[in-house]
Amino acid sequence: MKSEKQRVRGETLLEIRGLRIEGNSDGVWHPIVKGVDLSLKRGEVLGLIGESGAGKSTIGLAAMGFARPGCRIIDGSILFDGIDLRAAGEEDKRTLWGSRIAYVAQSAAAAFNPAHKIIDQTVETAVRRGVMDRGKAVADAVDLYRRLQLPEPAHIGERYPHQVSGGQLQRAMTAMAMSCRPDLIIFDEPTTALDVTTQVEVLAAMRDIVEQFHTAAIYITHDLAVVAQMADRIMVLRHGREVEEAPTRVMLSEPREDYTKTLWAVRKLAKPESVSDDIVLSVRNVDASYSGVVKVLDNVTVGLPRGRTVAVVGESGSGKSTLARVITGILPPSRGEILFNGKPLSRALNERDKDTLRRIQMIYQSADTSLNPRQTIRDIIGRPLEFYQGVQGAARDRRVAELLDSIEMDESYIDRLPTELSGGQKQRISIARALAAEPDIIICDEVTSALDQIVQEEILTLLMRLQKDTNVSYLFITHDIATVRAIADEIVVMHQGKVVQQGPKSQVLNPPHPAYTELLLSSVPQMDPDWLTNLLARRAAGKAGA
Amino acid sequence: MTAQSPQLRQVRARRSLWESTRRTLSSAPFSAWFGMIVILLYVIAAVFAPWIAPYGEAEIVGKAYQPPGPEFWFGTDQIGRDLFSRLIYGARNTIGIAFLTTLLSFAVGGTLGVLTALKRGWLDQGISRVVDAFLAIPVLIFALMLLAVFGKSIVNLILILALLDSTRVFRLARATALDVVVMDYVEAAKLRGEGMGWIIFKEVLPNILPPLITEFGLRFCFVFLTIASLSFLGVGIQPPTADWGSMVAESKTLITFPVRTFPWIPAPFYPALAIAILTVAINFVVDWFLHKTSGLRDEV
Amino acid sequence: MHPVLRTVLQRLGLGVLTLFVVSVVIFASLEMLPGGFAEAILGQGATPETVAAFNREIGLDRPATVRYVEWIGNIFRGDFGYSYAGLGGSIKRSVTDLIAPRLYNTFFLAIMTAIVAVPLSLILGILAALYRNSWYDRIVNSVTLTTIATPEFFIAYLLMFFFAIRNKWFYSLSTVSDTTDFIEHIYRAALPAITLMLVIVAHMMRMTRAALINLLASPYMEMAQLKGVPRREAIIKHALPNAWAPIATVIAFNLAYLVVGVVVVEVVYVYPGIGQLMVDSVSSRDMPVVQACALIFAATYIFLNLLADIISIVTNPRLLHPK
């Protein structure tokens, strides 16, 4: 990769001063962006990073002079190449959009029109603006597809959006944005919805093409490791304000603000590994399928030691969540058996006795859907106490208060509804509900993936402390390797319904790996601006060697 | 806090029902207020009909077709009954029968809908197919046919309309419940080992109640209009029972005679207006309720 | 087989099945007749002999399945049986002869209404969706809400009162016969048609508006805007190809609604259509006529919904261009 100095040259392209944006909810306007300054030179890539509610997407769209319905820009100036976008009329902005400023959306599957071929949508703006005639535009699009390493570049455009994969569609959208060779592209979380192994290809393609055409870009994401690969400069946002801004390398090596460090909080956690032979739950040669046709689990064998954490890691479609459903009895396995405390576990949920049910608890990814919005915290945590232990009335309330205390929440929350809590607090309530049953094992299904980094770190720390206190075992299902590093004693790698590898953390995370583990681990972005470059070089060398 | 503290102090007491109702009402728009007041007046008229109405329901008190005046506020009908009194009794009959029908339809359709959403399987398949077939015929047509078979009586009317309408309720209840049943908290309750009763009444029902209440308002309007239409067509509520639909039909010839006295409204328009105002009022309230229940948050 | 063809055939099969089930239900309604039906029809003075003769005449002495097959077979040949009104007498009145001219009148009224109402409500609905929350949208919203909540006969009498009685622009009773010429027929059916239009337009407009707002909020419409596609072009090129399915559903739903609406309106204006016939037959419990009318109404209803489903299928890009 070229150094920043070579890449960034020329005059200022975009200049935003004192930007303030409000959003409307239930008829009340409240601030989303509270005075942000931003400037971008030609050919420069600026990373906008922040957690949910930071206002980063809103700023990205405002850089085009656009506010979503329900939002309004109330103050500040937006100058794009000398044009005042706040003063510009719709007609003027429309001539800029697509041709000089382009937008790449988070979900390409939703942002492509299902009724038209990809090629038609790619060349639409170029042809209508008269930049090229259709023949030339199509040839150019095919060239862009090739540069973006899409398979069959000459023919892929003839397909409809639903006929190609998510990663390919995301690259096609980048080609669409590039078709008029804009001065500026806004990338709005373009890889967030993708699996890590797919993300690498898309990131590499996007980075190269921006570099080749010397296009300026704003890259919006919540993942610092991703933006480190893409951006020359990074701006950290929080609650609609700038926290700090610095060149990428400076930001990574010496961040000024404490908040910035919390953005990779989980990466600093690492539970010391501890191995045990006391297996509490043993899944043996299990097959499972929905509707009996496609095998979602194929001969899966997994062991969970008492008081330890086994992380099950895999991409979407690997069968990791299905494994949880099989263990809980919601999806009876079609073959194989599950031993719990040495005894065979009934396949189906309704054949299990109350005590067995109590001993296996589950925490879900989204606390929004796993806590009944109509029940108070008292009812949510109190119900397992009442149901399993028969604790009632004041004694139950006392126990609920103790449990709230153990998840570091004040007892005053007891009469709240889940909707009145933050995301992290809700997930804590889910944990308390599981703990109330005094279980042997807790299955955690992506419990931190919907949360911000700092909250993730708090939840993971809490889970580890609770494990120390109660000797509970966790089966921790996740797609995030940083989380695995933070919490696991053992790791199970799954791919397409099969267990690729199982072993202690130190063994799985260090070479030699099976091929898939290698691919998965190497695809996880690192906090190193050169990671992507080095990875691609390594992979190219590997291919050349082979 | 420590485990020893025996008393739990409640830092933030929940708002009383009264207070939250008052808050909600104070934010209601004009249309909703209008709707609620109208509905209240109708309910009062329906409940206290015998005390409010100056004359009896089927009492012949004057000559036929007397114009409105101090004695008969809205005039008399074709056999000399007081129109105003019949309007008030009409509220009791028409609204009462429609309400009973809707209640019955919700009891049947709602229960089956929630149950099939939870149980799925062949029962769900079976009932859903039958309901699909019922939905393939317009209610009014089906009701006409069944009334021809079973004869015109109020009990038949209620049973037939409740049966037909319950298919619509079933569809909605099932769809709404299906949205809730896939929620993780329902799965969590199943994993805990909870019985069907707990899952239906504690987990599912509280969450589908707002849409069901809204639907109750709309279904009531629909049933009410259908009953009025059937009565107007002469196959619904039968004379001498006062009912707005049949009153329109009975007095329809009056529309051609000029009305020379205040308020210059031809007689058939009174019951028709009575119907229209009530349904518009309910629609206003339902519209507002729909906006209101989009969020569950107890606003601070 | 191409997925579109397969899905269309599946849907057609389902439509035929539904029609079959509905025909069984309609046929079975006769089976559910409470005891003493014949007495009720024939009146107090019926002798046991006439009751037996009546039962034999309507075939209650033979197994139901046989009679169903016979009934449905005859219907396929256009024979709906004989009206009870003439039973036992010397002149048997064929239901088909009774229905045919009235069916023509009803379709005349329905088509006349639809020709105006469908384009009008689509235009009004599209405008309301495009200028959402404008004063136009608000006014149209409350007006249509009121119209929907008002019984059809009220609207009908209002129109009659103002346009036929106060101002003698139209006839208050829409009597037509087979000798009425086309233009005169339109004129005489105008008030019933306007009544139906008011109701249908209100429904259809609201549904069109809702469907379009849903469509315009999709991410690809925002993308089109951010690609610099002008609004009008975005709607024609990006929204419209995806709008056929929802619009077809809205139209079919409302035309089906129209089928029901005609019943009340025909009675108000004494328009000699099939709806009025059905109401009269219900009062006299003339079952063959009631059954025929119900079957015709249901078949129209099913056919319209089937048509909408097929339009949705053949315009769905995911089915048109399978993976």
**pLDDT tens readout for residues A282-315:** 999 999 988 777 888 999 999 999 999 999 999 8
Q: Is C35 on the interface with B (CB under 8 A)?
A: no
Q: Test B145 with C291 for CB contact under 8 angstroms.
A: yes
* C-beta contacts of A146-151 below 8 A and 24+ residues apart: A147/A205, A147/A208, A147/A209, A147/A212, A148/A172, A148/A174, A148/A175, A148/A205, A148/A206, A148/A209, A149/A201, A149/A204, A149/A205, A150/A175
Q: How many residues does chain C have?
A: 323
Q: Measuring CA to CA, which residue among B248, A397, B30 is closest to residue C161? A: B248
Domain boundary among A230, A245, A268: A268
- Tell me which of B152 and A400 has the higher pLDDT: A400
Distance CA B223, CA B278 (A): 13
Which residue of C29, C149, C259 is in closest CB contact with B280? Answer: C149
Tell whether B33 is covered by a domain.
Answer: no
Q: Is B14 on the interface with A (CB under 8 A)?
A: yes
Q: Measuring CA to CA, which residue among B294, B293, B245 is closest to residue B270? A: B245
Distance CA C187, CA A438 (A): 81
Tell whether A132 is covered by a domain.
Answer: yes
Distance CA B85, CA B74 (A): 9
Q: Test B268 with C32 for CB contact under 8 angstroms.
A: no
Q: How many helices (H) and strands (E) does chain B have?
A: 13, 0
Tell me the DSSP string of C170-190: S-SS----TTS-HHHHHHHTH
Distance CA B75, CA C35 (A): 43
Q: Is B238 on the interface with C (CB under 8 A)?
A: no
Mean pLDDT calculated for residue range C109-127: 91
Residues C244 and C312 sit within 8 Å (Cβ to Cβ): yes
Q: Is A396 on the interface with B (CB under 8 A)?
A: no
Tell whether B228 is covered by a domain.
Answer: yes
Q: State the best of C223, C233, C235 to mutate against chain A, taking most chain A CBs within 10 Å.
A: C223
Distance CA A458, CA A436 (A): 20
Residue of B nearest to A397 (CA): B8
Tell whether B153 is covered by a domain.
Answer: yes
Residues B223 and B165 sit within 8 Å (Cβ to Cβ): yes
Q: Test B138 with C256 for CB contact under 8 angstroms.
A: yes
Q: Test B137 with C267 for CB contact under 8 angstroms.
A: no
Tell me the range of B248-257, B264-273, C151-160 where mean pLDDT is highest.
Answer: C151-160
Q: Measuring CA to CA, which residue among A362, A384, A378 is closest to residue A436? A: A384
Residue of A nearest to C215 (CA): A113
Element (H, E) at A83: strand A83-84
**For residue B272, which residues of chain C lie inside 8 Å, CB to CB?**
151, 153-154, 157
In this prediction the pTM is 0.81
Q: Test B221 with C157 for CB contact under 8 angstroms.
A: no
Query: Tokens 């669409």 label which residue?
Result: A176
Q: Measuring CA to CA, which residue among A540, A533, A537, A535 is closest to residue A2? A: A533
Distance CA B206, CA B180 (A): 10
Mean pLDDT calculated for residue range C219-232: 91
List chains touching B (3+ CB pairs under 8 A): A, C
Which backbone phi and psi does C70 adopt, to 5 degrees? -60, -45
Whole-complex ipTM: 0.82
Give, in degrees to the nearest 5, the angle at Cα A362 between A359 and A367.
Answer: 145
The sheet carrying A83-84 orders its strands as A28-41, A12-25, A71-80, A83-84
Distance CA C45, CA A56 (A): 87
Residue C245 pLDDT class (50, 70, 90 cuts): confident
Residues B61 and B76 sit within 8 Å (Cβ to Cβ): yes
Task: Give the structural domain span for B150.
Answer: 51-293
Based on the fold, state whether residues A203 and A293 are members of the same structural domain.
no
- Cβ atoms < 10 Å from Cβ of C9: 11
- Is residue C102 scored above 70 in pLDDT? yes
Residues B63 and B72 sit within 8 Å (Cβ to Cβ): no
Give me the CATH number covering residue B148. Answer: 1.10.3720.10
pLDDT value at residue B12: 42
Q: Token pair for residue B33?
A: 């207020």
Q: Is A429 on the interface with B (CB under 8 A)?
A: no
What distance lies between CA A168 and its chain's CA centroid?
18
List chains touching A (3+ CB pairs under 8 A): B, C
Q: Is A24 on the interface with C (CB under 8 A)?
A: no
Q: Is B197 on the interface with A (CB under 8 A)?
A: no
Residue C43 pLDDT class (50, 70, 90 cuts): low
Number of independent structural domains in chain B: 1
Q: In angstroms, what separates the C-alpha of A371 from chain C's closest C-alpha?
A: 29
Task: Give the structural domain span for A347.
Answer: 279-510
Q: In angstroms, what separates the C-alpha of A106 from chain C's closest C-alpha?
A: 10
Burial of A383 (0-12, 13-18, 19+ CB in 10 A): buried
Distance CA B244, CA B251 (A): 11
Distance CA A384, CA A405 (A): 17
Domain boundary among A235, A268, A301: A268
Domain boundaries, chain C: 105-274
Give me the CATH number covering residue A195. Answer: 3.40.50.300
pLDDT value at residue A3: 42
Segment 109-168 of chain B within 8 Å of chain C by CB: 132-133, 136-142, 144-151
- Tell me which of A302 and B296 has the higher pLDDT: A302
pLDDT value at residue A228: 92
**For residue A27, which residues of chain C lie inside 8 Å, CB to CB?**
none
Residue B13 pLDDT class (50, 70, 90 cuts): very low
**For residue B184, which residues of chain A lie inside 8 Å, CB to CB?**
364, 366, 369-370
Q: Test B133 with C158 for CB contact under 8 angstroms.
A: no
Q: State the best of A364, A372, A397, A430 to mutate against chain B, taking most chain B CBs within 10 Å.
A: A372
- Cβ atoms < 10 Å from Cβ of A193: 17
Q: Test A98 with C242 for CB contact under 8 angstroms.
A: no
Tell whether A159 is covered by a domain.
Answer: yes
Based on the fold, state whether residues A187 and A311 are members of the same structural domain.
no
* Homologous superfamily (CATH) for C105-274: MetI-like (1.10.3720.10)
Q: How many residues does chain A have?
A: 546
Tell whether B298 is covered by a domain.
Answer: no
Q: Is C197 on the interface with B (CB under 8 A)?
A: no
Q: Token pair for residue A442?
A: 């807790």
Residues A188 and A104 sit within 8 Å (Cβ to Cβ): yes
Number of inter-chain CB pairs under 8 A, B vs C:
137
Q: Residue B176 to residues A223, A419, B181, B204: CA-CA distances in angstroms?
A: 37, 20, 9, 10
Distance CA C237, CA C221 (A): 10
Q: In angstroms, what separates the C-alpha of A292 from chain B's closest C-alpha?
A: 16
Tell whether A543 is covered by a domain.
Answer: no
Give per-residue burial for C302-311: e unless 16+ CB within 10 Å, then b. Answer: bebbbebbbb
Query: Tokens 């207006």 label which residue?
Result: B273
Based on the fold, state whether residues A263 and A294 are members of the same structural domain.
no
Q: State the best of B137, B142, B231 to mutate against chain C, taking most chain C CBs within 10 Å.
A: B137
Based on the fold, state whether residues A257 and A308 are members of the same structural domain.
no
pLDDT value at residue B9: 42
- Cβ atoms < 10 Å from Cβ of C109: 29
Distance CA B144, CA B153 (A): 12
Q: Is A330 on the interface with B (CB under 8 A)?
A: yes
Q: State the best of B141, B146, B222 to mutate against chain C, taking most chain C CBs within 10 Å.
A: B141
pLDDT value at residue A1: 41
Residues A80 and C283 sit within 8 Å (Cβ to Cβ): no
Tell whether A531 is covered by a domain.
Answer: no
Burial of A370 (0-12, 13-18, 19+ CB in 10 A): buried
Distance CA A470, CA A472 (A): 5
- Is residue B296 scored above 60 in pLDDT? no
Domain boundary among A234, A268, A302: A268
Q: Residue A215 to residues A43, A185, A437: CA-CA distances in angstroms?
A: 5, 7, 57
Residues C168 and C191 sit within 8 Å (Cβ to Cβ): no
* C-beta contacts of B51-54 below 8 A and 24+ residues apart: B52/B88, B53/B82, B53/B84, B53/B85, B53/B88, B53/B89, B54/B82, B54/B84, B54/B85
pLDDT value at residue C61: 67
Query: Tokens 């931190």 label which residue?
Result: A448
Burial of A6 (0-12, 13-18, 19+ CB in 10 A): exposed
- Cβ atoms < 10 Å from Cβ of A298: 17
Tell whether A528 is covered by a domain.
Answer: no
Q: Residue A322 to residues A117, A223, C146: CA-CA distances in angstroms?
A: 35, 27, 51
Give the pairing type, strands A279-290 and A343-344: unpaired
- Is residue B149 scored above 90 in pLDDT? no
Which residue of C217, C220, C241 is in closest CB contact with A111? Answer: C220
Which residue of A69, A98, A162 is in closest CB contact with C227? Answer: A98
Number of independent structural domains in chain A: 2
Q: Residue B128 to residues B117, B168, C130: CA-CA distances in angstroms?
A: 10, 11, 37
Tell whether B26 is covered by a domain.
Answer: no
Distance CA B241, CA A247 (A): 85
Q: Is C167 on the interface with B (CB under 8 A)?
A: no
Q: Test B141 with C294 for CB contact under 8 angstroms.
A: yes
Q: Is A175 on the interface with C (CB under 8 A)?
A: no
Q: Is C171 on the interface with B (CB under 8 A)?
A: no
- Is residue C33 scored above 70 in pLDDT? no
Tell whether B71 is covered by a domain.
Answer: yes
List chains touching C (3+ CB pairs under 8 A): A, B
Tell whether A530 is covered by a domain.
Answer: no
Residue of A nearest to C219 (CA): A111
Q: Test B233 with C291 for CB contact under 8 angstroms.
A: no
Instruction: Kindly report which listed range (B25-29, B43-47, C186-190, C271-275) carries the lowest average pLDDT score.
Output: B25-29
Q: Token pair for residue A239?
A: 């609650």
pLDDT tens-digit series, residues C195-206? 999 989 998 898
**For residue B295, which residues of chain A lie inside 8 Å, CB to CB?**
26, 419
Tell whether B21 is covered by a domain.
Answer: no
Residues A301 and A499 sit within 8 Å (Cβ to Cβ): yes
Residues of chain C above pLDDT 90, percent: 11
**For residue C301, which residues of chain B lie inside 8 Å, CB to CB?**
136-138
Distance CA A314, CA A502 (A): 12
Low-confidence ranges of chain A (pLDDT < 50): 1-7
pLDDT value at residue B10: 43
**For residue C223, which residues of chain A lie inside 8 Å, CB to CB?**
103, 105, 111-113
